[in-house]
Structure 1
Amino acid sequence: MISKLNLENILFLDIETVPETAHYSDLDPTKQALWDAKSRYQRKEEYSAEEFYDRAGIWAEFGKIVCISVGYIKMEGEVRQFRVTSFYGDEVKILNDFKTLLNTHYQEQKYLLCAHNGKEFDFPYIARRMIIHHIELPNKLDLFGKKPWEVPHLDTLELWKFGDYKTYTSLKLLTNVLGIPSPKDDIDGSEVYDVYYKTKEIERIVVYCEKDTIAVAQIFLRLRGDQLLQEHEIIHV
């Protein structure tokens, strides 16, 4: 039961991704053909491959990570803090910095990673991008040969499903029904492409990513029956 987990042993996280290039035309002909084939069933006949390209960031083969935000709970006596920070900018640096964090502070078996839809998106996306960039996987992302109960990952979407595999519940919807302040008060995932490539406001993406990370922690606390984090308990470092 999640109520028995030590909150200080959990690293909450969220990632933001965009297409690997600003425009479809920036891809070489081979990659364009591969994107055409990959996206055919998702876009159907409504969009051309080029028109659909702004959504390429959801696939690790055609996208890149522009921000990883992480947060953890720290108890000092009766005082609770949630400390959140971000890695952003160059993708290789983001991945290496995140790997260093995991290897330095979260190497032991007791530590767990937690994200919303993390098992389907965040965790495999980070791992795939690391492999693409020839970065050796940290232990927390290297799942080869591990049994299901040995995987050190928590997923708030999976927890909310309670064994139901028929539906997807977004972070925005789940925070709403659980009475948690929405993290989507500025931009949402569909706008990250424009904010990154057109207005070039990476700081807005970082703020958005950190809000999502805080929301993941809030959902986890709510599922445990714990008190939600208050504004004064959240520390940006």
Structure 2
Amino acid sequence: MNSSLSKCLSEKKVTLIVSLPENNLKLALAALSEGADAVKMHVNVKHRASGNEFNAAESYIDVFRHIRSKYTGPLGIVPGGSYEEIKQSEMNLLSQIGFDYFSIYAHHMPSWMLKLSNMEKTFAISSDYDIEKMGQLRSLDITALEASIVPGEEYGSPLTFKDILAYKFLAEKVDVPVLIPSQRKLVPDDISLLSQAGVKGIMLGAVVTAHTADSIKSSVADFRNAIDKI
């Protein structure tokens, strides 16, 4: 595989992304072995769904380089959990290692990140955003919008029709692909409905994959099979 995130999103009916619960080579290879189209990792953040705390990028240089050496597809990074934690020098380091897109909440993204030319830009909105105010984004050089709109206290509950309506509204409102993370306990049978709603990417995280290589393999294989049947 040798592809960008934007190419995957434009060419595939649904792109399958795995958000790893740890910055770990074994977990990355587990996801990729079962057909993940892209993987995403984290630095400088405490991750709600996995319960893990991620350190600065310098802590993971070796594992990041090892993953990049094994895989040439889209490699994403969440660079921090607040705008104070994100440094231009660290973003430059991550780009040099081989990360080619970043994923971050809009309220955590300092304005200078919009000017980065060496990474594709995706951003997330949370449950307290007014989705009716989301509009045209491509002119800001945005690759995709991540609809992280499920309230934290509802993580792990089943997907509802209300969710699908919200995702459909966003997909029709914005001019970039809409991704959804597995804040709900998504199941493979949800894929066809989400595709009908206009969702272009599914991001499997710890709520669905759990934390082991075997559980990640099993989850990714099931979702890959469901996507390939669309």
When normalised by structure 1's length, the TM-score is: 0.30
Give the number of the structure whose alpha-carbon radius of gyration is greater.
1
When normalised by structure 2's length, the TM-score is: 0.31
